[in-house]
Amino acid sequence: MTAVPNTATSVPTVPLLINGEWVDSSATEFRNVVNPATQEVLARVPLATASEVAAAVGAAHRAFATWRHTPIGARLRVMLRFQALIREHSKRIAAILTAEQGKTLADAEGDIFRGLEVVEHACSIGTLQQGGFAENVAATVDTYTLQQPIGVCAGITPFNFPAMIPLWMFPMAIVCGNTFVLKPSEQDPLSTMELVKLALEAGVPPGVLNVVHGAKDVVDALCTHPDIKAVSFVGSTAVGTHVYNLANAHGKRVQSMMGAKNHAVVLPDAHKEQTLNALAGAGFGAAGQRCMATSVVVLVGAARDWVPDLVARAKTLKVGAGAEPGTDVGPVVSVAAKERILGLIAAGEREGATLVLDGRGVEVPGYPRGNFIGPTIFTDVKTDMSIYTEEIFGPVLVVIGVDTLDDAIALVNRNPFGNGTGVFTQSGAAARKFQSEIDVGQVGINIPIPVPVPYFSFTGSRGSKLGDLGPYGKQVVQFYTQTKTVTARWFDDATVNDGVNTTISLK
């Protein structure tokens, strides 16, 4: 991603969306959106000005006054139309996503599909956004709760799922009766913008969904704006911690989903072929750029002998441009990301790990400038090495051997991250012990990437998450609503007179 001057170029500039209008930003600074397989510049993204951010929040604030009173049925019917449009346009948007992000076309469709599932779930808002009722909490007194929308919400999204993660956020926020300001990743906002266009086509009214582009300044403006009531963030740990602290200090409700180091624990009784397939797919798919990617393989006991088989499986994967048929591992998102990953691989060698599969220097015919790194595997990894302590976010697996399941559980629990983990075994007792004792928010049993479907919530934990309530599912309805409790008494007899009572009732 390169800064470019504000001069006319042959590539399109990505517009802002403010109050239902596509707005050409008057920004003075831009970023290029670059195809990671070719370095072709696809578009340029403005870093919106402070007054543009204020205009977007202002539009959302005004729209809230009417949208919050729009009947639930009308809101969910917008989502019904939206899900149909996403389905219809999925292949077209996937091609845009692959061009700007690098992942394979099939994986890009998966990215959209996972977001689509959240939109489908948003269509159930009629039964999700319900309060409770207790009759006769005192004589003739009832208590009930309302789940009311909270106001203007903001979403800040990362580069790695430009369809799914925006769709984690704005559909659920909007269907609950809130209005929204979205700040997509400046690295790959084009597919996100296609989804936003479809949301308007589905009937999201002007001002209910707004989009501003930018980086730190824009994010900070959203986190401090007095009219924003809640902020959803997904991205790296450093930025997520900053967003959480800043927005919290300004009185906002915040959910911050952040970095990870996901361990797959392999017991020697695991189904060998299926486990190796799972490890290779979850470690190297999307070039390792998934927050739930397997990044550490913990081989227990005799499973330590499986390293050559894992290397052989990794070698079967085809590295190439995401748009080319047969590609398993696309490029990483940017030249800078590639440099960073290569730096960590070099550090791993320096710090004494054994490089048993080296993906550096991989060549892809026809794509000499792509940000390619082939599957890479380290063994003899110690927990103080930077390839273990850092989130690599590339196609690099680090392998650690331990003697027992207890050792493996202790290792995972010592790691500060808590996004996802998996155990591979044929033993129900071992799996049950693992799920009970592991201190990680999302656990897979013979499942490498245990991302919950939208009827549940995304439940990363510890260093991978700040804030109590996760994205989508029931938790996000709590996040995007304020519970109001009403205690009511109605008199059906005009002559009733209890007299003045100055004490707390004992009945």
Q: Which residues are catalytic?
A: 291
- Give the span between the Cα atoms of 246 and 463, in whole angstroms: 17
Confirm or reject binding of residue 159 to ligand NAD (CB under 6 A).
yes
Q: How many CB atoms lie within 10 A of CB 468?
A: 11
Q: For residues 212 and 279, which CB has a smaller minimum distance to ligand NAD in the complex?
A: 212
Size of the site for ligand NAD (CB under 6 A): 28
**Residue 145 tokens, joined:** 């709760």
Q: Classify 30 as helix, strand or coil.
A: strand
Confirm or reject binding of residue 3 to ligand NAD (CB under 6 A).
no
Helix or strand holding residue 349 (H, E): helix 335-350
* From candidates 153, 212, 239, 311, binder to ligand NAD by CB under 6 A: 239
Q: Which amino acid is at 59?
A: A
Confirm or reject binding of residue 244 to ligand NAD (CB under 6 A).
no
Q: For residues 149 and 420, which CB has a smaller minimum distance to ligand NAD in the complex?
A: 420
* From candidates 83, 104, 129, 160, binder to ligand NAD by CB under 6 A: 160
Candidate ranges 27-35, 48-56, 121-129, 232-240; the one touching ligand NAD (CB under 6 A): 232-240
Residue with the shortest CB distance to ligand NAD: 235
Confirm or reject binding of residue 44 to ligand NAD (CB under 6 A).
no
Confirm or reject binding of residue 464 to ligand NAD (CB under 6 A).
yes
Site string for ligand NAD, 68-97 (x = CB under 6 A): ------------------------------
Strands 354-357 and 417-418: unpaired
Residues 423-462 that bind ligand NAD (CB under 6 A): 458, 460
CB of 468 to ligand NAD, least distance (A): 15
Q: For residues 128 and 291, which CB has a smaller minimum distance to ligand NAD in the complex?
A: 291
Confirm or reject binding of residue 419 to ligand NAD (CB under 6 A).
yes
Candidate ranges 50-58, 235-243, 265-273, 493-501; the one touching ligand NAD (CB under 6 A): 235-243
Confirm or reject binding of residue 285 to ligand NAD (CB under 6 A).
no
Strands 30-34 and 21-23: unpaired
* Helix-strand-coil split of the chain, %, nearest 5: 40, 20, 40
Confirm or reject binding of residue 186 to ligand NAD (CB under 6 A).
yes
Candidate ranges 59-67, 152-160, 352-360, 373-381; the one touching ligand NAD (CB under 6 A): 152-160
CB of 498 to ligand NAD, least distance (A): 54
Helix or strand holding residue 136 (H, E): strand 133-138
Q: For residues 242 and 253, which CB has a smaller minimum distance to ligand NAD in the complex?
A: 242
- Strand-by-strand arrangement of the 481-489 sheet: 133-138, 141-149, 481-489
- Give the span between the Cα atoms of 34 and 250, in whole angstroms: 35
* From candidates 259, 285, 322, 450, binder to ligand NAD by CB under 6 A: 259
Site string for ligand NAD, 393-412 (x = CB under 6 A): x-------------------
Q: Which residues fall within 8 angstroms of residue 419, CB to CB, at 6 or more apart?
A: 259, 260, 261, 262, 291, 292, 440, 441, 442, 460, 461, 464, 465
Residue 226 carries which DSSP code?
T
Torsion of CA 67, 71, 76, 80, to 10 degrees: -100
Helix or strand holding residue 46 (H, E): strand 41-46
Confirm or reject binding of residue 295 to ligand NAD (CB under 6 A).
no
Half-sphere exposure of residue 387, counting CA atoms within 13 Å on the CB side?
32
User: Cβ(452)–Cβ(458) under 8 Å?
Assistant: yes
* From candidates 46, 115, 151, 158, binder to ligand NAD by CB under 6 A: 158
- Using alpha carbons, select from 220, 212, 247 the residue that is nearest to residue 232: 247
- Give the span between the Cα atoms of 23 and 25, in whole angstroms: 6
Q: Classify 470 as helix, strand or coil.
A: coil
Given the rule CB under 6 A, which residues bind ligand NAD?
156-161, 183, 185-186, 215-216, 219, 234-236, 239, 242, 257-260, 291, 391, 393, 419, 458, 460, 464
